[in-house]
Structure 1
Amino acid sequence: MLKVLFIKPKSWVIRKVAVPPLGIMYIAAYLRDYFKDDIAIKIIDNRLCEYNEEELYGCIRDFEPSMVGISSITVEAEDMHAAARAAKRFNREIVVIAGGPHPTQYYDEVILDRNIDALVLGEGELTVLDLVKNYMSGKGYDGVKGILLLRDGRVIRTPARELIPNLDLLPFPAWDLIDIKAYSRIHSMSMAYPRKYMVLFTSRGCPYKCIYCHGLFGRAVRVRSVANVSKEIETLVNEYHISNFEIIDDIFNFDYTRAQEIMDFIISRPYKIKFSFPNGLRSDLLDYNMLHKMKKAGVVFISFAIETASKRMQQVIDKKVKLDKAKEAIRIASKLKILTNGFFMLGFPGETRQDMSLTIDFAVRSKLDTAYFFIVTPFKGTPIFENNKELIKNRFNNISYKNYSYFRGFFNLSDVQTNELIEIQQRAYLKFYFSPKRIIKIVIRFLRLEKGFFLLVDISLMMLLLIFMRKLDKTKCAA
């Protein structure tokens, strides 16, 4: 029997955050569906376990896998390399595969790690299946699409892997390979916690071309059928007793009719379930009918990714959100008593303090309950990085994955000084949260939620920490 170990690396964050690793869970389910009893699979989510390298080594030693797959985003890269090192230290014959957004975009750096044998570029199910089949038959990497190798000092990139056209053909994620309850005890991407929940992908891909996005799942939206999504929800409710869901599509409501039909299915069932959209909704495609239906279906939380309220910058970043429609969608959601959060970004190339002021004013005057103001981070492979290489090279030296963080912006591509940019971000948080009207609104909204007092304390501490942390960064810049 072949043993395969999947690892989701940890990263440094100002609070512990993790959601079930759907990408790995889909690949694990796909392998089991094909190989049946000829394969044994284990998943380690190191965001939960927080193992150091020695502890990871112990887990690998105990399981004795023949193959190790590591899925990583850039802020997890350091732990990805540690996991690969631990695997090879235990047994040099273990085949170590790395995939996910970081290896896909930073392939030229990751492949230099001698502890990593191959990279899976893009969507993983078909490619990993071929890799395992080849391993079991002794064919090495022959004929495997969508991978990158280092052979005799030469980088070899095989032909691109086609995307899966029919997502209904995928088995449901391997829920049994994770501790579902463990995720209810830490922060998810939603404000509506703590509770036993599961994340859902109902589609993959996004047709928009925002310059800061890597588009790992492609620019064509591939959707699962309403029947397939409905069956997954029913299975999770009936067999795993899940009553809370987070939908994390790139753009759930791109197909308006399909989105309504999924909500209609949920409304038609006798379940008392709740839904959150921590991302994945195009705000200017929402209207009263959709939001009312979402509320009726049990939606309790929506994040609105506005990014910038400058019409000029909306064109520059190629997001092109219709700001008036987005503002109206936020107002309607708030009126329906859906908890609302906004995501905003400061520091785009060419952005001025006037542009940033428009963004802050939009957030402050909106009906949002909470908001995050991030410093723009250009990731390799995205248009914002590729189109500004000279600017990045001139402004920053020795850029590495260690410079990337969830909440602390290292880069400044805007037209304002770095010290001022940090001050603007800090002022954004202060203006948004330190308004008597908003404070009263937040207190009332959160106290209505289950365990709302603890949520209120948590969000308050989080925002104070963000403000204080940026104050420290500003002091360092001044020094």
Structure 2
Amino acid sequence: MGLGQGADSPRPLRGPPPLPNLGLHRVGCGGAPGRRRILERRLHPSRPARFLPLCDPVKIALVQPPPRSEFDRHWARFPGLGIAYVASSLRAAGHQLELLDGKLAHLTVEEIVTRVRDGRPDLVGITCMTVEYPRAVDIARRIKDDRADVPIVVGGAHVNAVGRQALEEGAGFDYACVGEGEHLACELADALERAVDPSAIPGLVSRNGNEIVTAPSRPPPGDYDVLPFPAWDMFRPVDTLPLITHRGCPFQCVFCSHNSGFKPRYRTPANVLDEVEEILERYRPTRIRIEDETFGLHMGRTKAILEGIISRGFHRQVRFSAQTRVDRVDEEFMRLLKTANFETLELGVETGNSDMLRKIKKGITLEQVERAVALAKVNGLRVWCKFILGHPDETRATIRDTIDFIAKINPHQLSVSIMTPFPGTPIHEMALRGEGGYRLLSGGWEDFDKYSSGVLELETVSLGQLKRYQIACYINLYVRNRRFGELVRLVVANRAVGWEMSRSAIGRTARETGRRVAGRLQDNQRVPSAFSQTGETPARR
């Protein structure tokens, strides 16, 4: 369900008053064996995992829809934070869980539906991004075909953006979770367990016969340190695990839905470091990926986390990566990242044209991009830059600026997506109104994939051209910088994604060419009629 914005100060995750502080919460990096340190942390009075259930547990199935395409599979390499946080909160409240993971466990829709039918849960929860929503609808419909009585709740980034529309478009859903799902999911399970009407739970949208009831919005929790750490033990083991140190982003980028809200909410450095320790002791990944939208948003706190990673020796046990903004970095930050064994630094650049940066309200300059990339390289960090093609009023000339700028800064790794009007973004509203030179090509959520998007084009740049420029960004980067061997390895390692990208570009280009040819033929057929009254023909003319 989600890490989105949302509700009232949530009540506890079910349980008695907090235990007195037993003084067992470890501070610093000394002494006791690893197993004892984990047990000591779990006795911290604010940890919900310490709470005892008040009633019989509810049997809950949590569902992650399977990938639809090679693009989906390419990015499905580590588990989702939202569903992992909801799972740990429900389990801390004493409920019985089954995770049906269509991504890492490779479960098909049919297998998920069968597992729900055979397991007979009391509640089913489905999470989804926008492009996954149609699969979530299909899963819910097929579950209802087998068990019409089982309540189904849907949540995730898409639901945070569209709210009640998720129930209007998905007849199989009984509830939608709008906002951060940890407390909401527990309150819903508690209400269903007690046979109490849950429709007033803040952040919940409910179906009541033919009526859809929207409860008041749910503000974020006041203290993120009380949340149990994500339930990674319920997922298939992977090499990379995600970790988030704060939620919310104050910047105004027009392509972002701000799924976690604009106001930043922080975990304490001590709590973040405790989670790192638990991850290393229990799951032993080779890499931890910081999922903050801007790692370094609060630089003093971020540096305290990095210094803690170093002082507690975590940098000798695992590699890290993170994403930040080019206007947040300095020399000290880069040195700390390198010392803390951060391998990759992701930078959202978006465009190589200054006018486009202003139009999308990115709030950075190309000079800051060049400085940040240079600082990262000097300090031995791998630089991963991310760009978007198809900004408002984008032209072929501004796209060529982006292609040239990518080659100029020469990042180690590159991602280029096509502008996708995700619900809840200013771009979505612009596209609906036909502003920014946009033409909406599809309203189907299954097309809302930013790497293989078929949703949007510009009056000045067709979708087929955008897809060809997308491929050109990669080729130009490697060819211009004579990185031929890397290009070959990239193509071989990602051949399924590359084939799908090429096939999509060729197919779209062929359709556009076909329409242009058909249009010219129609124009030619209409030409004689313009001279029919005079008897003049095009040849005589």
Q: Which one is further off, 91-100 or 367-376?
A: 367-376
- C-alpha distance after superposition, 1:83-135 (max 9, x if no partner): 21232223212110000111222345421322100111121112112111111
- C-alpha distance after superposition, 1:162-199 (max 9, x if no partner): 1112111111111221122xxx3xxxxxxxxxxx2311
Q: Is 2:87 aligned against 1:31?
A: no
Q: Quote how far apart the aligned CAs of 1:464 are.
A: 6.5
Q: Quote how far apart the aligned CAs of 1:78 are.
A: 2.2
- Alignment of structure 1 residues 345-364 onto 2, 5 Å: 345-364=388-407
- What TM-score does the superposition give when structure 1 sets the normalisation length? 0.88
Q: Is 2:469 aligned against 1:405?
A: no
- The correspondence for 2:147, drawn from 88, 91, 112, is 91
Question: Helix, strand or coil for the counterpart of 2:70?
Answer: coil
Question: Helix, strand or coil for the counterpart of 1:387?
Answer: helix
Aligned twin of 2:467: 422
- C-alpha distance after superposition, 1:387-434 (max 9, x if no partner): 331218983355111222242121114632334333332322221122
Question: Helix, strand or coil for the counterpart of 2:423?
Answer: coil
Q: Is contact 2:191-2:198 (8 Å) kept?
A: yes
Which entry has the higher C-alpha Rg, 1 or 2?
Answer: 2
Q: Is contact 2:242-2:289 (8 Å) kept?
A: yes
% same residue: 26
Supply the distance in 2 between the matched residues of 1:270 and 1:414 (Cα, whole angstroms): 55
The letter for the 2-side match of 1:351 is E
- C-alpha distance after superposition, 1:338-386 (max 9, x if no partner): 2222111111121122222222221110030121221100012211112
Question: Helix, strand or coil for the counterpart of 2:144?
Answer: helix
- Alignment of structure 1 residues 52-451 onto 2, 5 Å: 52-112=108-168, 113-180=170-237, 184=238, 196-271=239-314, 272-277=316-321, 280-391=323-434, 395-396=439-440, 399-410=443-454, 411-413=456-458, 415-439=460-484, 442=486
Q: Quote how far apart the aligned CAs of 1:455 are.
A: 7.3
Q: Is 2:55 aligned against 1:20?
A: no
Aligned twin of 1:188: none
Q: Quote how far apart the aligned CAs of 1:468 are.
A: 5.3
Q: Quote how far apart the aligned CAs of 1:467 are.
A: 4.4
CA gap 1:463/1:435 in 2 versus in 1, 3 angstroms:
farther
CA gap 1:354/1:274 in 2 versus in 1, 3 angstroms:
farther
Q: Quote how far apart the aligned CAs of 1:204 are.
A: 0.5
Aligned twin of 2:513: 478
Question: Helix, strand or coil for the counterpart of 2:473?
Answer: helix
The letter for the 2-side match of 1:61 is R
Question: Helix, strand or coil for the counterpart of 1:284?
Answer: coil
Supply the distance in 1 between the matched residues of 2:121 and 2:276 (Cα, whole angstroms): 32
Question: Helix, strand or coil for the counterpart of 1:364?
Answer: helix
Q: Is contact 1:214-1:382 (8 Å) kept?
A: yes
Aligned twin of 2:54: none
Supply the distance in 1 between the matched residues of 2:510 and 2:353 (Cα, whole angstroms): 29
Q: Is contact 1:284-1:323 (8 Å) kept?
A: no
The letter for the 2-side match of 1:58 is T
Q: Quote how far apart the aligned CAs of 1:154 are.
A: 3.2
Structure 1's unaligned 5+ residue stretches are: 185-195, 444-452
Q: Quote how far apart the aligned CAs of 1:462 are.
A: 4.7
The letter for the 2-side match of 1:145 is P
Supply the distance in 2 between the matched residues of 1:394 and 1:152 (Cα, whole angstroms): 39
Q: Quote how far apart the aligned CAs of 1:300 are.
A: 0.8
Q: Is contact 2:373-2:383 (8 Å) kept?
A: yes
CA gap 1:343/1:470 in 2 versus in 1, 3 angstroms:
same
CA gap 1:398/1:108 in 2 versus in 1, 3 angstroms:
farther
The letter for the 1-side match of 2:173 is I
Q: Is contact 2:431-2:439 (8 Å) kept?
A: no
Q: Quote how far apart the aligned CAs of 1:222 are.
A: 0.7
Supply the distance in 2 between the matched residues of 1:417 and 1:104 (Cα, whole angstroms): 30
- C-alpha distance after superposition, 1:227-248 (max 9, x if no partner): 0001011111123223420111
Aligned twin of 1:448: none
Q: Quote how far apart the aligned CAs of 1:51 are.
A: 3.1
CA gap 1:414/1:264 in 2 versus in 1, 3 angstroms:
farther
Q: Is contact 1:200-1:248 (8 Å) kept?
A: yes
CA gap 1:414/1:315 in 2 versus in 1, 3 angstroms:
farther
Aligned twin of 1:466: 501
Q: Quote how far apart the aligned CAs of 1:67 are.
A: 0.3
Question: Helix, strand or coil for the counterpart of 1:11?
Answer: coil
The letter for the 1-side match of 2:91 is R
Q: Quote how far apart the aligned CAs of 1:141 are.
A: 1.6
Q: Is contact 1:226-1:262 (8 Å) kept?
A: yes
Supply the distance in 2 between the matched residues of 1:339 and 1:464 (Cα, whole angstroms): 26
Q: Is contact 1:145-1:161 (8 Å) kept?
A: yes
Supply the distance in 2 between the matched residues of 1:385 and 1:455 (Cα, whole angstroms): 33
Q: Is contact 1:349-1:415 (8 Å) kept?
A: no
The letter for the 2-side match of 1:420 is Q
Question: Helix, strand or coil for the counterpart of 1:395?
Answer: strand
The letter for the 2-side match of 1:10 is P
CA gap 1:291/1:381 in 2 versus in 1, 3 angstroms:
same
Supply the distance in 1 between the matched residues of 2:364 and 2:384 (Cα, whole angstroms): 16
- C-alpha distance after superposition, 1:59-96 (max 9, x if no partner): 11232110011110011112211221232223212110
Supply the distance in 2 between the matched residues of 1:284 and 1:326 (Cα, whole angstroms): 8
- C-alpha distance after superposition, 1:6-58 (max 9, x if no partner): 11112323252322121111112112223x3xx20111110123433332222
Supply the distance in 1 between the matched residues of 2:79 and 2:492 (Cα, whole angstroms): 25
Structure 2's unaligned 5+ residue stretches are: 1-56, 515-541
Supply the distance in 1 between the matched residues of 2:234 and 2:58 (Cα, whole angstroms): 16
Supply the distance in 2 between the matched residues of 1:152 and 1:89 (Cα, whole angstroms): 17
**Aligned alpha-carbon RMSD (Å):** 2.4
